[in-house]
Amino acid sequence: MKGVKIGLEIHEQLDTESKLFCSCPTDYRDAEPNKSICPVCTGQPGSKPFGLNEKALNAVIKIAIALNCKIIVGKPVQVRRKHYIYPDLPSGYQRTSESIGVEGELNNVQIHEVHLEEDPGRFFLREGLVDLNRSGTPLIEITTDPVFDSPPHAREWLEKLASILDYLNVTKKEEGTMRIDANISLNNGNKVEIKNINSFRNVEKALSFEITRQEDLIRRNQTVERETRHFDEKMILTSPSRKKETEEDYRHMPDPDIPPLLIKKELVEKIKKTLPELPQSKAARFVKLYKLSGQNAENIVSDPYAADMFENVSKFVNPILASNWFVGQLKKTLNYNNMTLRGSKITEKQLAALLKMLEKGKITERAAELALREMVLRPADPKKIIENLGLLEFGDLNTIIKEILDKNEKAVNDYKTGRKEAFEYLVGQVMKITKGSADPEEIRRLLKRRL
């Protein structure tokens, strides 16, 4: 889109057992409000923070390396206090580190910087209630340059980023742990920031709304204010929340209670060695090793769980056949049931057994599809499922067709002398025996070949 500049700030909770500066558990989701707290994470006067949670720091370094950032090594990185007043922040400041990684890049999107900070608590505006269980949970913040030129571009990139975070396995997996701020300007005008968007789909929706709103203001010769807006999910619109603070308003200052971090080169090298094979290189390997299409490879590697399962299934069946099922029927069936592959509990052994039966022509494509639908909901040995569904009794489609042709000499001769309806009669005979579970197109194709 012309003149559109979008930048993103992504906040994601890191997967640590305890909070950033105290030993309170971060696993507070089932806890009663204000139970997973202590004087440190509620900012009580006189409380002293513990040393910074090392696991959280290592997680940020790992992500920064994967995003091709330069890590700030051998130079003090200060933890600073960022002041603002809000009920979810009893201390009146949020602790946030200076940049840990800078100048990264992912899929042609420049990453400005990556740092560590603590999550504030939660304030329920309507009820006027505060829950501080979340307060002090370690977060990574990833900031991109304003390089996205359309809302779908931003969304697609976020999906790539999420896939990488999934591979790195150092962030929380629960729903709602990622929050996104998106800033947008049109024709180099004032920047508007939309805060706290909770899903990629909503990022796209909020930005699309904002483009329409700003275009409308420009058309009527009005100014686009520099401001922070809030996205209303139900109304699908943004509304002003507060005027954007300038950096000075936050009165950043080094936290006197936290010694500056000093990241050693050896630590970075050590973490580098723990990086898994990331989606991009995995996709390239799948294309080379298994001869998959680029599209299939990219589709499969976006989920590390699916990628592993695909590789294991491919030990038993043709990888191209397997890949077509992973991106085709399997994905379709899971989506239809609103499930993920991991969530379905279907095992690689079951999947391999099903595809093996298909590969050997023991069942038709259609029968495999029907069995898969059942397997996704109630994982079990596909042989049993196929038996129970009565999909095996007619055996191999080719054998059935041969039998039908042998039995129906007259119809075959009629067809050969140009009577088209004889062909449909033969199709009908095969359908009858397979009880409608075979694909009519497949029957037509095989019949034509034999005739």
Residues of the shown chain interacting with Zn ion in the complex, contacts defined by CB under 5 A: 22, 24, 38, 40-41
**CB 207, CB 151: distance < 8 Å:** yes
Question: Nearest approach, Cβ of 359 to Zn ion (angstroms)?
Answer: 56
Q: Where are the beta strands (DSSP E) in 27-100?
A: 70-71, 79-83, 93-97
The length of the chain in residues reads 451
What is the C-alpha to C-alpha distance for residues 343 and 434, in angstroms, rounded to an integer?
33
What is the C-alpha to C-alpha distance for residues 127 and 138, in angstroms, rounded to an integer?
26
Nearer to Zn ion, 38 or 217 (CB): 38
Nearer to Zn ion, 31 or 38 (CB): 38
Nearer to Zn ion, 24 or 161 (CB): 24
Question: Nearest approach, Cβ of 78 to Zn ion (angstroms)?
Answer: 22
Nearer to Zn ion, 39 or 361 (CB): 39
Of 50, 57, 88, the residue nearest 71 (C-alpha)? 57
Residue type, 354: L
Nearer to Zn ion, 257 or 365 (CB): 257
Residue type, 161: L
Q: Where are the beta strands (DSSP E) in 204-303?
A: 227-232, 237-243, 253-254
Token pair, residue 378, equals 């109630």
Nearer to Zn ion, 24 or 206 (CB): 24
Question: Nearest approach, Cβ of 122 to Zn ion (angstroms)?
Answer: 15
Question: Nearest approach, Cβ of 304 to Zn ion (angstroms)?
Answer: 32
Q: How many Cβ atoms are within 10 Å of 336's Cβ, its own excluded?
A: 10
Give the CA-trace dihedral at 398, 404, 410, 412, to 10 degrees.
-20
Token pair, residue 173, equals 């997996």
Secondary structure (3-state) at 128 = coil
What is the C-alpha to C-alpha distance for residues 342 and 303, in angstroms, rounded to an integer?
10
Nearer to Zn ion, 22 or 65 (CB): 22
Question: Nearest approach, Cβ of 54 to Zn ion (angstroms)?
Answer: 17
Nearer to Zn ion, 39 or 260 (CB): 39
**CB 275, CB 306: distance < 8 Å:** no
Question: Nearest approach, Cβ of 24 to Zn ion (angstroms)?
Answer: 3
Nearer to Zn ion, 24 or 301 (CB): 24
What is the C-alpha to C-alpha distance for residues 359 and 39, in angstroms, rounded to an integer?
63
**CB 283, CB 294: distance < 8 Å:** yes
Question: Nearest approach, Cβ of 16 to Zn ion (angstroms)?
Answer: 13
Question: Nearest approach, Cβ of 60 to Zn ion (angstroms)?
Answer: 20
Question: Nearest approach, Cβ of 138 to Zn ion (angstroms)?
Answer: 12
Of 297, 65, 286, the residue nearest 168 (C-alpha)? 65
DSSP 131: E
